[in-house]
Structure 1
Amino acid sequence: MADGLRHKLLHKVESSGVKGDSLSKKVWDESKKMWVIAGPAIFTRASTFGLGVITQAFIGHIGPTELAAFSIVQTVLLRFANGILLGMASGLETLCGQSFGAKQYHMLGLHLQKSWLVLTVTATILLPIFIFTSPILKALGQDNTISDVSGIISLWSIPVLYSFVLSFTCQMFLQAQSKNIIIAYLAAVTLAIHIFLSWLLTVKFKYGLPGAMISTILAYWLPNIGQLVFVIGGGCRQTWIGFSTLAFTDLWPIIKLSLSSGVMLCLELWYNTILVLLTGNLKNAEIAIDALAICLNINGWEMMISLGFLAAVSVRVANELGRGSSRHAIFSIYNCVVQSSIIGFVLFVFFLFFRGRLAYIFTNSQEVAKEVDHLSTLLAFSILLNSVQPVLSGVAVGAGWQSIVAYVNIGCYYLLGIPIGVVLGYVVNWGVKGVWIGMLIGTLIQTAVLCSITFKTDWDKQVAIAQRRVSRWLVNTDSPDLS
């Protein structure tokens, strides 16, 4: 795959008038711009993802029921909410990236405030799901004991739900300006604090689930406070020009873009959630859920790298489209896909080698570790696909194609992947392996479709669309409302 992409990259560059002897310099310059965004984004996402993994590791040593319950809350509920809020916030990524590329810096702060309003309302709408988790899970056929404990954990997770609003929006606001290094510093400090507090409250003082969840809540909110201080306190003088009543005006276009973004991304994140729910109806559900949760956590760690590339390519594409350069947008896409694919292949080989031995990081159960070993091949192929698919989704975010990709996701994931998985898992009786194989098929088809869309796009036309979008929300910088 990498060789084919590299060949197409060379062809595109040459056809765009870039001389062959300057290609290495072009790649180097573009890579520096990309890694300024991708490096901190990968570290931040890995650190943030690590918060849940650390909590899971401590809870896993409290008991298998608690581990299974937390796995469901984290993988189903929090991922459900995460998918909606992160997806809706990605609309901000499109607007801020293109506005920054067009040098309409004052618009970034207004887009941020509008997004705060939209996401806060959305989080409140999601609140009943967290309050009534236990009866909802029981109605879906989950084990009663696991459902009851999940209900307790979900109530503790409500502050985490609202932390997503500030976290996602501030990250995308700063990424659009390539200022996300501050987020990485905050994530590193928070991760260290979370490890210490989790040990202190669950091991030293033996507060059990309440201790683990208190540490988790603090870990999600501390970076938000730091980001707000940085943004409002003078770290973004060009792009943050104060609170404005204009944030309450012309919200409907923002809502529409946020909704299409939310549908696009949450359809992807819910895909794995459905895998967990289907597994909960199989025999030996507790072992199956624990093993699958461990695999998805390992997969999630690697996914943080891909999401870093997603952030980088979305910012680079949005900036270049806003700036009016279709050629540089194309170059950014190919450069990012090739580098992400190479890293994905290396990790594919790595996880094939270690297999079930990694399970002992999360559990003491030999049965769970054995099940993880059986699933390791599927895990490795998931990692390989993750190195390409999220990057292409990032291209869609940068260009503002969220609604198109939403339809692609529905067709590939929900009309093909899940039905195939159900047939293989329940009819053919392959269990969790069959369900996972079917869903991998859906991901493979979705990746192929996104590749086709990206390669066939008229990028000059996308530049015109981006410039119209920027001018749509343009306001007068001299307005007294902005001061």
Structure 2
Amino acid sequence: MREEQQHPLLLHPNNPNNMVDGRITNTDDLIGGERKTWDELKKIWKIAGPSIFCRFAMFSLTIITQSLAGHLSDLDLAAFSIATTFLISISFGFLRFLQSQLKMAIIAWSSAVSLGVHAIISWLFVYKLGVGIVGTALTLDFSWWLSVFIMYGYVLYGGCPKTWNGFSWLAFTDLWDFFKLALASGVMVLLENVYYRLLVIASGDAGSSHVDVDALSICVTLFGWESMVPLGILAATGVRVAIELGAGNVSGAKFAAKVCMLTSLIIGMIFSSLVLAIPDKLAMIFTPNSSVISVVRKLAYLLAPTIFLNSIPPVLLGVAVGSGWQALAAYINIGSYYLVGFPLGIFIGRVLNFGYMGIWAGMLGGSVIQILLLAIVAVTYGWEKEVQKARGKHILMDKAVDD
């Protein structure tokens, strides 16, 4: 194949018009660039697809356990939901963010083995052996560890030859720099994940009945389940923005962010519509209690806009990860959620006596503020300056190699 017919993966910064096959591709407009948008979508879903499947599969372990607990009794559902609220949010919000994108396929595969085994063992323990809620917790632990050992064995025995050469002290090289980067990114996503789970704790502490707590926990679980999609898009956004900025292609980074945002908004709209259309059927996954189902039906009018709004921040946070201002994003999350949204929710819910729906409404206000602040930073961020920094680092590295 002739050189001029080849399509480069990244566009060169010295090509001001970014010409490919005689076409100008440096535009970051979605309208009129259908082919470019389609190409970008393929790149995004190559990253986001396995990530979403993996997260869905692992989160479904909790879904299965919670649904079994709910069909045992309403009190078991409330107890299990409160007990796992922070544990699950911490693992998915912090530890899962540190996983590598290089072998996401095997992570997804191991999650789907674990999920199948968990479903069978949970059914056996609960319905055949009658071990109750303690049995459901034990099967959840077993399934989590099964996934860990499958992934560990795959890496240890040659599954990642390009990234794993065995145990070495070299693993501690530049560990502090990695830790700082990972900590900022992990805390940023952790604060995002924990936020709405506080709703269950705050409502239970406010004296809500176990029926209300059950309904809220179902809504928060459905919200968390759907959040696996935008979290996967967050990972894809971060990778795509980082790659384009690293190549000096500011326009390409902005275009990737726009395509990710459009994709996430469409998916959020679909899931929001689904919640409004069939809240009863979604609630029946977790409980047969008609009283709980009725409360879930009422809460669907808050759950739907929450899901839609949640489709926006992950893309903006992905931009933060890809362009290096995740520490600022973490501060924005702290201010929006925990200095404004949660106190506002407590004020509306408890002081003004609007109950758990008032708490939820106030927390939605915190989400709106977070979106506005992240959008302002993303729009005003010095993309070109970041590219110049990257170029300066590359020049220094090239000089070091030449010397």
Q: Same fold (TM over 0.5)?
A: yes
Question: Which range is displaced more, 465-474 or 396-405?
Answer: 465-474
Q: Among residues 314, 333, 336, which one is paired with 2:238 in the alignment? A: 314
CA distance in 1, matches of 2:395, 2:140: 42
Which residue does the alignment assign to 1:304?
228
Retained in 2: the 8 A contact 1:313–1:391? yes
Partner SS for 2:54 = helix
2:56 paired with 1:46: yes
Q: Say whether 1:459 aligns with 2:373.
A: no
Aligned length: 378
**Which segment drifts farther, 266-275 or 24-33?**
266-275
Instruction: Give the structure 2 partner of residue 23 of structure 1.
Output: 33
1:20–1:200 Cα change, 3 Å: closer
Match of residue 19 from structure 2: none
Q: Does 1:65 align with 2:61?
A: no
Partner-residue secondary structure (3-state), 2:284: helix
Contact 1:356–1:374 (CA under 8 A) maintained in structure 2 = no
| Aligned-residue offset at 1:326 | 2.6
CA shift for structure 1 position 404: 0.2
Q: Take 1:33 and 1:264, find their aligned partners in 2: how far apart are those partners?
A: 25
* Aligned residue number for residue 327 of structure 1: 251
Whether contact under 8 Å (1:314, 1:395) holds in the other structure is: yes
Give the Å deviation of 1:299.
1.1
In the alignment, is residue 280 of structure 1 matched against residue 243 of structure 2? no
Cα distance in 1 for residues equivalent to 2:394 and 2:79: 45
Q: Does 1:241 align with 2:165?
A: yes
What is the correspondence of 1:175-324 to structure 2 with a 5 Å cutoff? 175=101, 177=102, 179-324=103-248
Unaligned 5+ segments in structure 2 are 1-22
User: In structure 2, what is the equivalent of residue 410 of structure 1?
Assistant: 334
Partners of 2:59 and 2:313 in 1: CA distance: 19
> Residues 167-178 of structure 1: matches in 2 within 5 Å?
169=98, 172-173=99-100, 175=101, 177=102
Alignment of 1:34 onto 2:30: no
- Distance in 2, matches of 1:235 and 1:23, equals 39
TM-score (norm. length: structure 2) = 0.86
Q: Tell me how far 1:425 sits from its aligned partner.
A: 0.5
1:339 CA drift (Å) = 1.1
The CA deviation at 1:415 is: 1.8
What secondary structure is seen at the aligned counterpart in 1 of 2:346?
helix
Instruction: Please say if 1:434 is aligned against 2:358.
Output: yes
Partner in structure 1 of residue 87 of structure 2: 77
Cα distance, 1:25 vs structure 2:
1.8
Determine the C-alpha separation between the residues in 1 that align with 2:397 and 2:339: 37
| Separation of aligned partners in 2, 1:71 and 1:299 | 13
1:337 counterpart residue number:
261
Aligned residue among 66, 74, 77 for 1:56? 66
Separation in 2, partners of 1:235, 1:401: 33
From the two aligned structures, give the one with the greater helix fraction: 1
Query: What is the SS of the residue equivalent to 2:166?
Result: coil
Equivalent of 2:316, from 392, 395, 398? 392
What amino acid maps onto 1:57 in structure 2?
S
Moved more, 45-54 or 353-362: 353-362
Q: How does 1:113-124 map to 2 (within 5 A)?
A: none
Post-superposition offset of 1:318:
2.3
CA change 1:18–1:345 in 2 (3 A) is closer
Offset, 1:277: 1.7
Q: 1:64: Cα distance to partner?
A: 2.3
Whether the 8 Å CA contact 1:42–1:308 is kept in 2: the answer is: yes
Whether 2:286 is the aligned partner of 1:362: answer yes
**Equivalent residue number for residue 383 of structure 1:** 307
Q: Does structure 2 retain, via aligned residues, the 8 Å contact 1:280–1:289?
A: yes
Give the 5 Å matches for 1:110-149. Answer: none
CA separation of 1:336 and 1:14: change in aligned 2, threshold 3 A: farther
Higher relative contact order (CA 8 A, sep 6+): 1
Q: CA deviation at 1:399?
A: 2.1
1:357–1:373 CA contact under 8 A, matched in 2? no
Judged with a 3 Å threshold, the aligned counterparts in structure 2 of structure 1 residues 322 and 373 are, in CA distance, closer, same or farther, namely same
The CA RMSD measured in Å over matched residues stands at 2.8
| Stretch deviating more after TM superposition (239-248 or 375-384) | 239-248
- Is the contact between residue 94 and residue 186 of structure 2 (CA under 8 Å) also seen in structure 1? yes
Counterparts of 1:333 and 1:400 in 2: how far apart (Å)?
A: 14
